[in-house]
Amino acid sequence: MVDTQKISIERIANSRIGEVDFENIPFGRICSDHMYVADFKNGEWTDQRIIPYGPMPLSPSIPGIHYGQSIFEGLKGYKDPSDRALVFRPADNWKRMNKSADRMCMPQIPREIFMDGLQALINLDRKWIPKTEGSSLYIRPFMFGTDEYVGIRPSDSHRFMIITCPVGAYYSTPVKVKIEQKYTRAIEGGTGYAKAGGNYGGSLYPAKLAQDSGYHQVIWTDGKTHEFIEESGTMNVMFVINDTLITPELGDTILNGITRDSVLQLARKWGMKTEERKLTVKELVEGLKKGSVKEAFGAGTAATIAHIELIGYDDEDYYLPSITERKFSNRVYKELDAIKRGLTEDSFGWIQKF
């Protein structure tokens, strides 16, 4: 249960929910009425509060702006047939956020700060959880350094927040991706495994170049040789090659995706062969040429399963089999969606009910 005595609540005077067309929700453009805020000062978390969503006064000198000392997470909420709010694997997001915090010299977020703040915010804005097919409530926890000091050192003060957005599909069509051969997202010893803001800021330019060439995103390769597949721009990447589900093994250059892990657990439950290993660009391209790559898809919170339509490499596009022929990725999407919406048994204990 939430200790509401520790969280002050200021309700919005007039809800904006009546202005929203829940049949047509652009991803990430519309935020719910309220936001959760907690501040870390003098070595402790304090001043937990929920306030109306909107601008905040911040010093222009904070390191979250100047040096990218910021981290974030992404998770989703749904409604079940009984109108209860369901959130998918929030404890895993909390754990991963604290790993990111360690890497970015930021304080650990206590479980009760993360989970109680999330529950209080969901309870207040539960009417914002859409029910239309393919929609959900996107939940964005984030933290940034707030010291009023222009100097390169870890901040002593921080702000943790949660905002929510009703969203439709992240990708409305199957995606076209290009294997990146020049630019690098992450390197061994870097911050690639953390959800640090700077990782994504640095990826925008090569992604834009790919988009200018007609692709939606890139598939990142290793920073040393560009010989090994790593992940895509907004998600982990997975392939069905012959009868085996293959995805790059985790390391300090690849995000430990919660959807990725969910897909692997389901595949193993169903008796499918899985491999988490290094996958070379050469092996993938040869498989595309021979037709042994049966399915390719991205796995991430925003998209859940994003079918990859084609993969570009060396100025040539390799098309994958049609979406309707893809048995595994279609099945895993339907199963994950049913679990998230309370329509089938959650045998893994992934759902948190609010």
Q: What are 231-249's pLDDT values in tens digits?
A: 998 899 999 999 999 999 9
Q: Report the pLDDT averaged over residues 257-285.
A: 98
Single out the residue of 214, 215, 240 nearest to residue 320, CA to CA.
240
Q: Report the pLDDT averaged over residues 67-77.
A: 97
Q: Flag whether 221 is in a domain.
A: yes
User: CA dist 158 to 37, 99, 150, 164, 234, Å?
Assistant: 11, 16, 15, 20, 26
Residue 149 and residue 248 in one domain: no
Residue 186 and residue 324 in one domain: yes
201: domain range?
A: 175-340
122-75-145-103 Cα dihedral, nearest 10 degrees = 140
Q: How many CB atoms lie within 10 A of CB 156?
A: 14
Residue 9 and residue 151 in one domain: yes
Do 321 and 327 form a contact (C-beta atoms < 8 A)?
Answer: no
Residue 142 and residue 210 in one domain: no
Q: Flag whether 352 is in a domain.
A: no
Q: How many CB atoms lie within 10 A of CB 263?
A: 26
Q: Residue 30, CB half-sphere, CA atoms under 13 Å: how many?
A: 20
The CATH number that applies at residue 126 is: 3.30.470.10
Alpha-carbon span 33 to 318, nearest angstrom: 45
Residue 299 and residue 187 in one domain: yes
Over 60: is that where the pLDDT of 117 sits?
Answer: yes
- Per-residue model confidence as pLDDT tens digits over 282-302: 999 999 999 999 999 999 998
Do 37 and 49 form a contact (C-beta atoms < 8 A)?
Answer: yes
Is the C-alpha dihedral spanning 339, 252, 219, 294 positive or negative? negative
The CATH number that applies at residue 255 is: 3.20.10.10
- What pLDDT score does 241 carry? 98
Alpha-carbon span 288 to 295, nearest angstrom: 10
Do 240 and 293 form a contact (C-beta atoms < 8 A)?
Answer: yes
Show which of 168, 188, 205 is a domain's final residue.
168
Alpha-carbon span 310 to 187, nearest angstrom: 26
Q: Flag whether 348 is in a domain.
A: no
Residue 215 and residue 333 in one domain: yes
Show which of 168, 183, 210 is a domain's final residue.
168
Q: Flag whether 350 is in a domain.
A: no
Single out the residue of 109, 112, 119 nearest to residue 139, CA to CA.
119
Mean pLDDT of the chain: 96
Q: Flag whether 41 is in a domain.
A: yes
Q: Flag whether 226 is in a domain.
A: yes
Structural domain count of the chain: 2
114-116-48-201 Cα dihedral, nearest 10 degrees = 30
Residue 181 and residue 162 in one domain: no
- What pLDDT score does 132 carry? 87
Q: Flag whether 154 is in a domain.
A: yes
Q: How many CB atoms lie within 10 A of CB 42?
A: 7
Show which of 168, 202, 226 is a domain's final residue.
168
- What pLDDT score does 291 carry? 97
- Per-residue model confidence as pLDDT tens digits over 201-214: 999 999 999 999 99
Alpha-carbon span 65 to 75, nearest angstrom: 24
Between the two ends of the chain, the Cα-to-Cα distance in Å is 10
As given in the structure block, the two tokens for residue 191 are 């911050």
Gyration radius of the chain over CA positions: 21
**Angle, in degrees to the nearest 10, between helices 90-103 and 111-124:** 130
**Angle, in degrees to the nearest 10, between helices 258-269 and 327-340:** 110
Q: Flag whether 14 is in a domain.
A: yes
The pTM (predicted TM-score) of the whole model is 0.95
As given in the structure block, the two tokens for residue 299 are 């796995």
Residue 45 and residue 138 in one domain: yes
Q: How confident is the model at residue 1 (pLDDT cuts 50, 70, 90)?
A: very low
Q: Report the pLDDT averaged over residues 10-35.
A: 95
